[in-house]
């Protein structure tokens, strides 16, 4: 659900209903992840996907005992595609937060002002294009390879 530019998750208070809703959300999100990351043919908008993720995160926050290792909240991207070498990132690629309204951008700017009261801050705002994250790897100053950001594996 969307209201005033913010994503609103459907309220679920009963633990049994929460478990059932979590299972349904996980299946649905996993299906959309496969369509997006493997088939490159998403069926829903980024905003609709973000709403599903937000609802999942809210339910898992209210019921941490229901969080499972295979939950989409516990991993990044889709399943690895066979035939490719696994590469580990030394530094994790962090994701940007989504905003859907000028009000949310204003709220972000206000948080920055509160945290940096004596600094002059300038912004460049551009549309976020999902699915184009890339990590460029240089070894000894020479370009080695480019890796898609969504398929990252972290070195431990």
Kindly report the three-state secondary structure assignment for every residue of the chain.
CEECCEECCCCCCCHHHHHHHHHHHHHHHHHHHHHHHHCCCCCCCHHHHHHHHHHHHHHHHHCHHHCCCCCHHHCCCCCCCCCCCCCCECCCCCCCCCCCCHHHHHHHHHHHHHHCCCCCCCCCCCCCCCCCCEEEEEECCEEEEEEEHHHCCECC
Query: Long-range contacts for 48-56 (Cβ within 8 Å, ≥24 apart)?
Result: 50/7, 50/98, 51/1, 51/2, 51/7, 51/9, 52/25, 52/28, 53/29, 54/7, 54/9, 55/9, 55/10, 55/21, 55/25, 56/22, 56/25, 56/26, 56/29
Domain residues for the domain of 17 are 2-74
* 57 has a pLDDT exceeding 50: yes
Predicted pLDDT of residue 7: 55
pTM over 0.75: no
**147 found inside a domain:** no
**99 found inside a domain:** no
**87 found inside a domain:** no
**37 found inside a domain:** yes
| Number of structural domains found in the chain | 1
CB atoms within 10 A of CB 103: 12
* 6 has a pLDDT exceeding 70: no
Q: How confident is the model at residue 40 (pLDDT cuts 50, 70, 90)?
A: confident
Active site residue 15: no
Query: For residue 48, what is the domain's CATH number?
Result: 1.10.287.610
Mind listing the pLDDT tens digit for each residue in 70-95?
898 887 665 666 777 776 667 766 66
Predicted pLDDT of residue 3: 45
**126 found inside a domain:** no
């Amino acid at each position: 659900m969307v209201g005033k530019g913010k994503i609103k998750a459907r309220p679920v208070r009963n633990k049994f209903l929460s478990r059932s809703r979590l299972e349904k959300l996980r299946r649905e999100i996993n299906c959309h992840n496969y369509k997006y990351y493997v088939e490159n043919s998403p069926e829903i908008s980024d905003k609709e996907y973000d709403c599903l993720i937000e609802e999942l995160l809210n339910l898992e926050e209210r019921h941490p005992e229901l969080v499972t290792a295979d939950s989409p909240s516990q991993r990044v991207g889709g399943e690895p595609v066979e035939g490719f070498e696994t590469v580990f990132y030394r530094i994790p690629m962090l994701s940007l937060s989504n905003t859907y309204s000028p009000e949310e951008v204003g709220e972000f700017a206000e948080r920055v002002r509160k945290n940096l009261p004596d600094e002059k801050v300038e912004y460049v705002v551009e549309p976020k294009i999902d699915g184009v994250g890339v990590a460029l790897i240089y070894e000894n100053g020479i370009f080695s390879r480019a890796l898609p950001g969504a398929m990252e594996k972290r070195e431990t």
